[in-house]
Structure 1
């Protein structure tokens, strides 16, 4: 079962769909701050990205409470450029990373609207990811 969840996390697309791990209802209305968000996010990205090597222009905005479909969730905003198979790079895009009960829940591939106004800082740890 856990393997199925992990494999499902690898199936994200660029069409605005989200990839979820825990999900669920709003049984926890007062969400705790995700204190290990960087570590969890790097572990997730190492398996989520087809090729985590060569990411550049990585930036992250610290998790902040945001309204997601009528529920308050902590959301970290992530921006980076991926290396294409021909060696070129895509334009950097925003992704929204949602946390549920203090843990990484899902990533929204097209996070521009959710991340509007986010203040980004360099995320060099992501640029150092290996396979």
Structure 2
């Protein structure tokens, strides 16, 4: 019984050669703009962060179309300082969020290349997140 969750967790690894996608990928030449990217992103971040309360200096870049892995995607970039489990704040995190067909598809943790040149603006909604 204990082996089942471990076996399934291996399927969702962060291996760049086999990305995990949560929505149907039509691989269309043009993608639909993610109209609800802010609320969708906030809902995702509540589950992604160990402690969504107390995020500081959150910034977001509006989704822009970029070619990622040979495919056209809308990408929004985030920068923020999460509160660690001990209550302290450490290094800033930068994440890229990819959208397929207007829906959040995945979060890229190593986002420095994807987010190069992003125009950030304050994201106070993320700083106000609750559990």
Shorter-chain TM-score: which interval?
0.7 to 0.9
* Coordinate RMSD, CA, aligned: 2.6
Aligned residues: 122
What residue number does 1:123 align with?
A: 123
Structure 1 residue ranges (4+ consecutive) displaced by more than 3 angstroms after TM superposition: 15-20
In structure 2, runs of 5+ residues without a counterpart are: 1-8
Deviations 1:94-122, CA, capped at 9 Å, x for gaps? 10000000010000011111000001000
Name the TM-score, length of structure 1 as normaliser: 0.82
Look up the match of 1:80. 80
**Match of 1:22?**
23
Separation in 1 of the partners of 2:39 and 2:20? 18
Q: Give the equivalent residue in structure 1 for 2:47.
A: 47
Q: TM-score, normalised by structure 2?
A: 0.82
1:65 and 1:118 map into 2 onto residues whose CA distance is: 12
Deviation at 1:57, TM superposition (A): 1.0
Moved more, 58-67 or 88-97: 88-97
Give me the whole-angstrom Cα distance separating, in 2, the residues matched to 1:70 and 1:33.
18
> Contact 1:93–1:110 at 8 Å: present in 2 too?
no
The question of whether the paired residues in 1 share the 8 Å contact of 2:22 and 2:106 is answered with: yes
Per-residue displacement from partner, 1:43-98 (whole Å, max 9, x unpaired)?
A: 11112211100111100000000110111100000111111122211211210000
Structure 1 unpaired stretches of 5+: 1-7
* Structure 2 SS opposite 1:22: coil
